Amino acid sequence: MSLLTKKMIYILGLSFGLLLSACADDITVKPEAEESKLVNEADLLDEDSELDMADAASPLDDSHKKNKSLAMKGDAQAQLELGYDYLYGFNVSRDLEQAARWLEAAAENGNAEAQHSLAMMYDSGEGVDKDTDKAMELYLKSANQGYDLAQLSLAQAYSLGYNDEYDTDYVKAAEWATRAAFQENESAQRLLASFYLHGFGVRRNKTIAKEWYNRSCSNGSEYSCTESNKLSAEGY
């Protein structure tokens, strides 16, 4: 099973339902709160023997062994992949606590994908205590690095009205959706089309809505194809 396949399984299991929203020129990113450290160098060294014992009961392939070795040395990509191994139970027994620890290590090393995956864990309370503020902080870090899935997650979060601190903000929702849409993220394109179709936070424009539905359709969305055809029937 490829890393991409594992990642998509996780995203499909935890992602928000798409909602309608809006667009803006400026986004004010909340200053980063001081991060709690789940993993530091000493912790990793102390846990090595425990990980060896846990892994002994499961067959380890060369990929897992290599990832573990590199992760212990601070390699962010290896930490990410090791986190996914524990998250999905790939070559080891599934262990959400270990998954969170390795994803935290990769996130602290600046890996945008790990930041997004860890944000989803905090969002759902899977493997960690549910913390929407921490989730939002990590979504923003990842999105500001250009990671399209994090940008989509922010668009959805601002559409929902995330919590008491992050109210519904259709303007920010559409801005983040736009960023992801231009990276050919099909879900973001479909969401952005709905913004223009209904005029939530942006000037209502069915012509632009159809353009985004067409792009989403080209990327495989049957729903967007149907919506585009409806607009064509209306003369757009």
The reply to whether 216 falls in a domain is yes
Residues 138 and 217 in one domain: no
Q: How many helices (H) and strands (E) does the chain have?
A: 12, 0
CA distances from 159 to 104, 121, 143 (A): 27, 20, 16
What's the rounded Cα separation, in Å, for the pair 195 and 172? 12
Query: Looking at per-residue confidence, does 207 or 5 come out higher?
Result: 207
Residues 57 and 172 in one domain: no
Query: Looking at per-residue confidence, does 21 or 176 come out higher?
Result: 176
Residues 215 and 175 in one domain: yes
The CATH number of whichever domain residue 84 belongs to comes to: 1.25.40.10
pLDDT for 174-194, tens place per residue? 999 999 999 999 999 999 999
Q: Final residue of a domain: which of 90, 112, 145?
A: 145
Residues 137 and 56 in one domain: yes
User: Which pLDDT score, from 0 to 100, does residue 156 have?
Assistant: 93
Residues 171 and 222 in one domain: yes
As a whole number of angstroms, the longest Cα–Cα distance in the chain is 68
Q: Final residue of a domain: which of 130, 145, 160?
A: 145
pTM of the model: 0.73
pLDDT for 88-123, tens place per residue? 998 889 999 999 999 999 999 999 999 999 999 999
Residues 60 and 122 in one domain: yes
